[in-house]
Amino acid sequence: CITSVAPAVVPSLITNTFHTQHIQATMSTGDYKVADISLADYGRKEIDMAEVEMPGLMSSRTEYGDALKGARISGSLHMTVQTAVLIETLKSLGGDIRWCSCNIFSTQDHAAAAIARDESAAVFA
């Protein structure tokens, strides 16, 4: 009578491989959940204005090129227009970005909508 059997290694490898392939297949495919996607135009205007006020991030886009190429980055921070500038900077540096708002009460829906519509990142806010 066998009382215990060690878990097989093969199913674990298959599961991990499937999980990795699933993540790669869904990364940057326009995944989003935002309150109102129709706010995207207003959000884009706000993001463009915020870029002027954030010269450090803007200069890093040109200075570092594609330093994050191939990197998969997930973030959870207040979804504001300033966060949107950060997300687009990480994207321009080559990162594959997924973002989740950390607080529904501080989320600027127009910023989340612009990021989702422009496919800068998969965003859930």
Sheet strands side by side (includes 96-101): 32-33, 122-124, 96-101, 72-77
Q: How confident is the model at residue 30 (pLDDT cuts 50, 70, 90)?
A: low
Q: How confident is the model at residue 21 (pLDDT cuts 50, 70, 90)?
A: very low
CA 90/CA 52 separation, integer angstroms: 17
CA 39/CA 84 separation, integer angstroms: 14
Specify whether the CB–CB gap between 37 and 75 falls below 8 A. no
Average pLDDT, the chain: 84
Q: What is the pTM of this model?
A: 0.75
Exposure string for 3-17, b = 16+ CB within 10 A, e = fewer: eeeeeeeeeeeeeee
> Which superfamily, per CATH, for 9-124?
Adenosylhomocysteinase-like (3.40.50.1480)
Q: How confident is the model at residue 115 (pLDDT cuts 50, 70, 90)?
A: very high
Instruction: Provide the pLDDT for residue 98.
Output: 96
Ordered by start, the domain boundaries in the chain are 9-124
Instruction: Provide the pLDDT for residue 18.
Output: 44
Q: What is the pLDDT averaged over residues 9-22?
A: 44
Q: What is the pLDDT averaged over residues 93-116?
A: 96
Question: Model confidence over 48-98: pLDDT tens digits?
Answer: 999 999 999 999 999 999 999 999 999 999 999 999 999 999 999 999 999
CA 49/CA 66 separation, integer angstroms: 24
Strand 96-101 vs strand 72-77: parallel, antiparallel, or unpaired? Answer: parallel
From the CB of residue 114, how many other CB atoms can be counted at a distance below 10 Å? 27
